[in-house]
């Protein structure tokens, strides 16, 4: 693990303030439980089969979470950039082997925290508890919407919604990774993009 660079906790403080108002004393207590870590591009934070020990707050860079099928093909589950959390929640909470991988698409800086530390913060300070519950609730809603999107939306609708919700990601993530996230082939994504361009 690395030492914290100047301002490393500023992004976390901004994220917390978007959910709850936290005193400096409460925030400073929490920062003592986070461990800074740097990941090089393509370096793993988690590999399938290992127990997920960390929830990672991304202060710089971009991560992806993905699975591999029996043929070795990648299926991207989610991306994470600055100001987002990344973990495999089921493995993290239940301490069971992970079914997905998490690696870095860019050189990244993270703040890592264990489930035990999160529980300590939640028990000790009500503001941390509210923040923890709010972020968990948001994660559950996001997962539900993603499932609903796959069930009830066309490939073009999924692409359009992705562009609307995450416009900055297209500047940072290769199109074949985005295609995997949308559940389509790169060729289908290219065709959709051309069709939408012609309509403008």
The whole-angstrom separation of Cα 18 and Cα 15 is: 5
Return averaged pLDDT per consecutive 10 residues of the chain, 200 residues in all: 62 93 90 95 97 96 96 93 94 96 97 94 85 85 79 89 88 93 95 87
Task: Classify residue 5: in a domain, yes or no.
Answer: no
Residues 6+ apart with CB under 8 A from 95: 51, 115
pLDDT at 3: 46
pLDDT at 147: 81
The whole-angstrom separation of Cα 75 and Cα 93 is: 23
Could you list the beta-strand ranges (E) of the chain. Answer: 35-39, 44-46, 55-60, 62-68, 74-81, 85-86, 101-104, 108-113
Residue 107: half-sphere exposure toward Cβ, Cα within 13 Å: 0
Stated length of the chain? 200
Task: Classify residue 189: in a domain, yes or no.
Answer: no
pLDDT at 148: 79
Q: What is the CA radius of gyration of the chain?
A: 18
Task: Classify residue 141: in a domain, yes or no.
Answer: no
Tell me the CATH number at 56. Answer: 2.60.120.10
Task: Classify residue 32: in a domain, yes or no.
Answer: yes
pLDDT at 84: 93
Task: Classify residue 192: in a domain, yes or no.
Answer: no
C-alpha closest to that of 5 among 87, 55, 63, 61: 61
pLDDT at 65: 97
pLDDT at 6: 46
pLDDT at 125: 74
Number of domains the chain contains = 1
Task: Classify residue 136: in a domain, yes or no.
Answer: no
Task: Classify residue 38: in a domain, yes or no.
Answer: yes
The whole-angstrom separation of Cα 20 and Cα 12 is: 12
Task: Classify residue 172: in a domain, yes or no.
Answer: no
The residue behind tokens 């069971």 is: 96
Bridge partners, 57 (sequence order):
85, 111
Tokens, residue 138: 């948001």
Which residue range is the domain that position 76 belongs to? 10-127
């Amino acid at each position: 693990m690395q030492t914290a660079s100047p301002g490393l906790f500023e992004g976390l403080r901004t994220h917390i303030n978007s959910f709850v108002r936290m005193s400096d004393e409460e925030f400073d207590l929490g920062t003592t439980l986070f461990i800074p870590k740097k990941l090089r591009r393509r370096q793993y934070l988690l590999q399938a089969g290992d127990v997920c020990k960390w929830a990672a707050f991304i202060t710089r860079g971009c991560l992806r979470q993905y699975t591999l099928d029996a043929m070795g093909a990648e299926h991207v589950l989610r991306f994470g950039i600055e100001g987002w959390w990344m973990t495999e929640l089921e493995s993290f909470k239940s301490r069971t082997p992970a079914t997905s991988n998490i690696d870095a698409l860019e050189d990244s800086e993270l703040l890592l925290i264990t489930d035990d530390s999160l529980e300590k913060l939640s028990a000790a300070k009500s503001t941390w508890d509210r923040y923890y519950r709010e972020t968990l609730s948001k994660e559950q809603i996001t997962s539900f919407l993603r499932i609903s999107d796959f069930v009830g939306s066309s490939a073009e609708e999924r692409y359009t919604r992705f562009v609307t919700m995450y416009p900055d990601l297209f500047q940072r993530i290769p199109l074949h990774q985005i295609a995997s996230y949308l559940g389509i082939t790169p060729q289908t994504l290219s065709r959709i993009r051309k069709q939408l361009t012609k309509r403008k």
